């Protein structure tokens, strides 16, 4: 086999590998992209809504320099719909030990669904520089 054919074969194998990893992430690990909702007026009040046993909705407001609500308690094995917006500047939201990684964008709502299957304290941190208090911007979710 000449070098050209070898290079082609190797790059085809790599492409297949990357594609397989994407499928693995999407279907086995349940990783998907956050949704950005721009056609609905953002809420201006933070809320925690219990939809049913183990189904919750949290409407988060990211504001310099905290997330509201600052503390949420939910039972383990809950599926939580997270909606996020910002009334001031762009923030980021990452929930430790989960796949939640959202942007808080003024005028828009971002959305992601997460399941908390392990009890513990999950810190919610801002990962987008948003001003002088950025490094202190966090809140928490307590799963019991
Ligand atoms: Cu909010 Cu950084």
User: Tens digit of pLDDT for each residue in 97-122?
Assistant: 999 999 999 999 999 999 999 999 99
Q: 62, 94 in Cβ contact below 8 A?
A: no
Give the pLDDT mean for 68-90: 97
- Percent pLDDT > 90 in the chain is 85
47 with 10, same domain: the answer is no
Find the farthest-apart pair of alpha carbons in the chain and give their distance in angstroms, rounded: 66
pLDDT number for residue 1? 67
6 with 55, same domain: the answer is no
89 with 64, same domain: the answer is yes
Indicate the pairing of strand 138-143 with strand 71-74. parallel
Question: Which atom of ligand 1 lies closest to the CA of 135?
Answer: 2
Centre of ligand 1 from the C-alpha of residue 129, in Å: 5
71 with 20, same domain: the answer is no
Centre of ligand 1 from the C-alpha of residue 10, in Å: 43
- In angstroms, the first-to-last Cα distance of the chain is 60
Q: What is the pTM (predicted TM-score) of this model?
A: 0.84
pLDDT number for residue 43? 93
Q: Which protein residues are within 6 Å of ligand 1, measured from CB?
A: 62, 91, 126, 128-130, 134, 137
Centre of ligand 1 from the C-alpha of residue 126, in Å: 4
21 with 50, same domain: the answer is no
Question: Which atom of ligand 1 lies closest to the CA of 89?
Answer: 1
- Percent pLDDT > 70 in the chain is 99
Query: How far apart are alpha carbons 17 and 140 in whole angstroms?
Result: 37
23 with 49, same domain: the answer is no
pLDDT tens across 10-49, in order?
999 999 999 999 899 888 887 788 889 988 899 999 999 9
Our CA dihedral for 63, 66, 69, 70, rounded to 10 degrees, sits at -170
Which residue range forms the structural domain that includes residue 60?
35-143
Domain count, the chain: 2
Centre of ligand 1 from the C-alpha of residue 117, in Å: 27
79 with 17, same domain: the answer is no
Q: Name the average pLDDT for the chain.
A: 94
């Amino acid at each position: 086999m000449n070098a050209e054919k070898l290079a082609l074969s190797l790059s085809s194998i790599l492409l297949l590998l990357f594609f397989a990893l994407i499928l693995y992430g999407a279907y086995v690990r349940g990783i998907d992209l956050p949704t950005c909702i721009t056609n609905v007026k953002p809420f201006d009040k933070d809320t925690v809504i219990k939809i049913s046993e183990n189904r919750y909705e949290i409407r988060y407001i990211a504001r310099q320099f905290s997330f509201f609500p600052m503390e949420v308690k939910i039972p383990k094995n809950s599926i939580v719909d997270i909606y996020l917006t910002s009334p001031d500047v762009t923030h980021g939201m990452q929930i430790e030990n989960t796949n939640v990684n959202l942007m808080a964008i003024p005028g828009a709502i971002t959305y992601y669904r997460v399941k908390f299957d392990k009890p513990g304290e999950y810190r919610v941190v801002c990962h987008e520089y948003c001003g002088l208090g950025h490094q202190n911007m966090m809140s928490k979710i307590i799963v019991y």
